[in-house]
Amino acid sequence: MARTYEQEREHKWRRRGIMGITYQEYESMRLAQREQCLMCGTHVNGNGALDHNHETGKIRGILCNECNLALGILERYIRDGSAALYLQISELEEDPS
């Protein structure tokens, strides 16, 4: 039996290793962010990076690939609280709507 478009998209999503969130949840999150990167505000298409805390697994939001790379470098190599400060600021500035 052939998969529907939605089933195929979900299958590809799971093959990418994104667990704990469905493609529909990702799309809802992206639209709630007004299709913008949480860090720099540039347009994020369907290939935006799902940012998450590697220790807790908590999803923080969707970033453009450049910001995701930069934040990963900060988290990996700089242990002075810079990445934690960004996360605290972004939580304070979250739009409740």
Q: What is the CATH number of the domain that holds 73?
A: 3.40.1800.10
Is the pLDDT at 36 greater than 80, yes or no? yes
Report which listed range, 4-8, 49-53, 83-87, 92-96, is most confident: 49-53
Kindly state the DSSP code that residue 7 receives in the 8-state scheme.
H
Q: How many separate domains does the chain show?
A: 1
pTM of the model: 0.62
For residue 97, tell me if it sits in a domain.
no
For residue 78, tell me if it sits in a domain.
yes
CA distances from 80 to 12, 45, 95 (A): 37, 32, 27
Is the pLDDT at 81 greater than 60, yes or no? no
| Signed CA dihedral, 32, 71, 14, 91: sign only | negative
For residue 60, tell me if it sits in a domain.
yes
On whether the CB atoms of residues 50 and 26 are closer than 8 A, the answer is yes
> Which residues span the domain enclosing 20?
5-92
CA distances from 24 to 30, 57, 74 (A): 10, 19, 29
